Chains A and B, each alone.
Chain A
Amino acid sequence: MELHQLTIHELQKKLRGGDTTSVDVVESVIRRIDAVEDRIHSYITLMKDSAREEARRADEEIRKGNARPLTGIPIAVKDLICTKGIRTTCGSKILSNFIPPYDATVVEKLRDAGAVFIGKTNMDEFAMGSSTETSHFGVTRNPWDLDRIPGGSSGGSATAVAADECIASLGSDTGGSIRQPAALCDVVGMKPTYGRVSRYGLVAFASSLDQIGPFTKDVEDCAILLNVISGYDPRESTSVQVEVPDFTSFLSEGIEGWTVGIPKEYFIEGIDPEVEAAVRKAIGVIEGLGARCVDVSLPHTEYCLAVYYIIAPAEASSNLARYDGVKYGYRSKDCRDLMEMYKRTRSEGFGMEVKRRIMLGTYALSSGYYDAYYKKASQVRALIKRDFDEAFQSCDVIMTPTSPTPAFRIGEKMDDPLQMYLSDIFTISTNLAGIPGVSVPCGYTAGGLPIGLQFLAAHFAEEKLIRIASAYEKHSKIEKRRPNL
């Protein structure tokens, strides 16, 4: 095994035991990036020089006996999380020259935990997309099949982990943007509970839905990274003051005696038969671990997509009003007056999908349509959350496919926004209800494409997700493959 292939917990042991150095780990990751990055395009900005310097400092800390959870370990960060002095573009032309004057809270937390920052990852523009095809900086390709999309919007964060171009990464999830690419790229991806992780310094897309979370090579690493990034932040008024347990303490707890809910609404027409078969097989594994699998109903599931594509664009149209060419970012040249400057800056600076969603959101919020769209959607959202609250009265965890299909081909859905939106059909409800969810690998199609399994739990019950995901990972007996690059 090469160093770049290892996990956080494997590297922790090697670094502390003196078997390797952070400098060697970082050089191994950089060699890997040099070998595969031109085919995959995980990154918008690479930070090789500063990573080398941080690795040298990490090795000093380890020698002094000051190793923290991530000391010396190369981590990548999605390019909508602000990094002081390092360009943060959101995958957009309009922020292509933006240098944040401060660090996001999660970046401070990673730094305090000793992480080495290796780069900023590619993404759908402003996190709007399910395929990482809408980035101003070009598409990211799936390491398992370079003609296919990696999922999105955090596609680069998923591929960087899947292709060993970093050890772990952070992404953001507004409607599935961590879990869907994790599923399509064969890695573990978690969206924590709304309020668990501070979003200070996360560029906002849809404020009532956005959450930051980890991409890792296994569930133990997911727990380690979740420990680092969780917690109340007085600078973020939606972060919640609840206790953060040591998530790694749940890895071996098992799920004996648990009830696991299988929602019938998630096994619908249109789901790929190989995906369905893999998830049905996983039900057998879970039962073998001493849990009881029962049918549960989430009756408003069929309305999730419509609710989401009103609420998310409505919030986005408001959040993206700040990009006006005045304070930062791209500005159109030679405009005669302020209005022309606003319109030309925004029309030249945003891509088509972002404009489509701003238009949809502006329409849904405009005078005369507010009740019919935004208010109605917010009411149905309450019913969707109630479905989950009721389901969790009778089960510990809910289990579903993460994505209805494996990775689709690049370009396949770019001209049909509604078809593209349908790829998030199993992940959107989680964000609407504010609950946590995790995707773990659960096998491969006959053609060798990864399939993901999703577990959902009640608010702030991430430890249940760690328990079941870890138990499943240990006992599923799925042969771990590596993409052939």
Chain B
Amino acid sequence: MKITKEEVGYVAHLARLEFSDEEKEKFTSQLNDILLYMEKLNRVDTTGVEPLTHATFLSNAFRNDEVKPSLPHDLSMANAPEERAGSFRVPKVIE
């Protein structure tokens, strides 16, 4: 076993997801199959190999620090599920 049902519950919390008991069972078994398949990477000797995080020659893309027009406030808010006074409204954060 690479991952237990309890760990699936913990990872779900980290990912801000929640599952029924039945879904947790199913995920535990499927994620174990997938993680077992990933084991094959341990056969590759990667000593001294620099990790590749993206595949072109670019490093940092700098630009001048100039103020340019951005999305107008009303358009930024246009898709808000709930809005009040030009701000995003959410349920209370603390008791």
Contact = CB atoms under 8 A, between A and B. Distances in A.
B63 interface: yes
Interface string B66-82: 00000100011011111
A283 B84 CA distance: 64
Contacts of B42: 376
Classify chain B's interface size.
35 or more
The B interface is mostly helix, strand or loop, or mixed, namely: loop
Given A101-B76, A418-B34, A327 B88 contact: yes
A264 B56 CA distance: 26
A346 B81 contact: no
A238 B58 contact: yes
B84 to A, nearest CB: 13
Given A194-B54, A238-B54, A343-B16, A383 B49 contact: yes
B79 A195 contact: no
A385 B57 CA distance: 12
B71 to A, nearest CB: 6
Interface residues of A, number: 71
Contact of B27 (A327, A331, A359, A377): A359
Contacts of A97: 79
B86 interface: no
B23 to A, nearest CB: 8
Contacts of A346: 15-17
Given A326-B88, A337-B93, A309 B46 contact: no
A380 B35 CA distance: 16
B61 A376 contact: no
B15 A208 contact: no
Contacts of B50: 379, 382
B51 A359 contact: no
Contacts of A309: 34, 37-38
Contacts of B91: 335-338, 340-341
A452 to B, nearest CB: 23
B52 A359 contact: no
Contacts of B79: 97-99, 101, 327-329
Contacts of B90: 326, 338, 341
Given A329-B81, A358-B17, A362-B15, 8 more contacts: A193-B56, A194-B56, A237-B61, A309-B38, A346-B17, A382-B51, A382-B52, A434-B56
